[in-house]
Amino acid sequence: MLEKIVISTIKSWNVDNALRLKDLLAGKYEVYVIKSRGELKPDIIKKINPIYIFFPHWSWKIPKEIYENYECIGFHMTDLPFGRGGSPLQNLIERKIYNTKITAFRITKDLDSGDIYLKRDLFIGLGNAEEIYMLASEIIFFDMIPHILENRPTPKKQEGKVTSFKRRRPEQSDLMKSNVSNLQEVYDFIRMLDAEGYPKAFIKMGKLKIEFLEVHRKYNKVVGRFEITEEP
């Protein structure tokens, strides 16, 4: 009988990669892909009885009955214990930290504080948020998860100074209320918010809302696209 694993994830690129990995692991593991909050239930997980549950990207609270009874592994875009908490990509870019890690860690009751399985380097100095998330997804699904399955590493306690990030709020995407003061900061601010499901950088002019996306640096300019909507 094949060992079973569960992959709980959201965002289109992660779901696509989860299904690709499922095909690659066919004949070695039974892979179950969970794509919504309603599917992640203790009774469902109990029937599957997986050796691992991987959470490459998950926005909801994980039931205690699951993380206490199964080996649950999360992935965080910082060099833990630095940068525990929400919106890691945006918080890193705001701090002009362009070289980071993807950390695979054991999920526990305390946010991002579990023991560490492994880390991988990640450069976030170029590209918009969605492109960076897609790159991270490739590393997680086709390097980190296979490595864990093949090597079964024993997680080690986090070492170093703990620093925490706060999850960003939609109103923080207002470019006029930000602290940007040069072209690099404008570029970073717009690109770090440009991904599926994220509140894009914007400015308001009366009832008009202008959102910015698809930016890149071009000599002494920031070039991109904008969309204008009229609010009621």
As a whole number of angstroms, the distance between CA 46 and CA 4 comes to: 12
Average pLDDT over residues 65-80: 97
The domain spans of the chain are: 3-165, 170-230
User: Confidence class of residue 197 from pLDDT cuts 50, 70 and 90?
Assistant: confident
- Contact present, 142 and 21 (Cβ < 8 Å): yes
Per-residue tokens: 217: 């640096």
User: Confidence class of residue 232 from pLDDT cuts 50, 70 and 90?
Assistant: confident
Strands (E), 58-125: 72-76, 84-85, 99-106, 116-123
Question: Is the backbone of residue 207 left (phi > 0), alpha (psi -120 to 50) or beta?
Answer: alpha
As a whole number of angstroms, the distance between CA 68 and CA 65 comes to: 6
- Does residue 60 surpass a pLDDT of 90? no
Paired with 4 in beta bridges are 30
Please give the pLDDT value at position 99.
98
Average pLDDT over residues 41-47: 95
Token pair 């390097």: residue: 143
Query: What pTM, to 2 d.p., does this model score?
Result: 0.94
Please give the pLDDT value at position 219.
87
Q: What is the DSSP letter of 140?
A: I
User: Confidence class of residue 211 from pLDDT cuts 50, 70 and 90?
Assistant: very high
- Does residue 14 surpass a pLDDT of 90? yes
Looking at domain 170-230, its CATH architecture is Roll (3.10)
- Does residue 156 surpass a pLDDT of 90? yes
User: Confidence class of residue 69 from pLDDT cuts 50, 70 and 90?
Assistant: very high
**For 199, phi and psi rounded to 5 degrees?**
-70, 110
Q: What CA–CA distances, in Å, run from 175 to 100, 182, 202?
A: 25, 12, 6
Please give the pLDDT value at position 46.
96
Closest CA to 60 of 84, 41, 81: 41
Decide whether 3-165 matches 170-230 in CATH topology.
no
Per-residue tokens: 90: 């945006």
Average pLDDT over residues 114-123: 98
To the question of domain 3-165 being in CATH 3.40.50.170, the answer is: yes
Count of alpha carbons within 13 Å of 10, Cβ hemisphere only?
13
Average pLDDT over residues 163-177: 95
Average pLDDT over residues 171-190: 95
Please give the pLDDT value at position 199.
94
User: Confidence class of residue 135 from pLDDT cuts 50, 70 and 90?
Assistant: very high
Average pLDDT over residues 97-122: 97
pLDDT over 70 percentage in the chain: 100
Beta-carbon contacts of residue 69 (< 8 Å; ≥ 6 apart): none
Paired with 204 in beta bridges are 209
Q: What is the DSSP letter of 21?
A: H
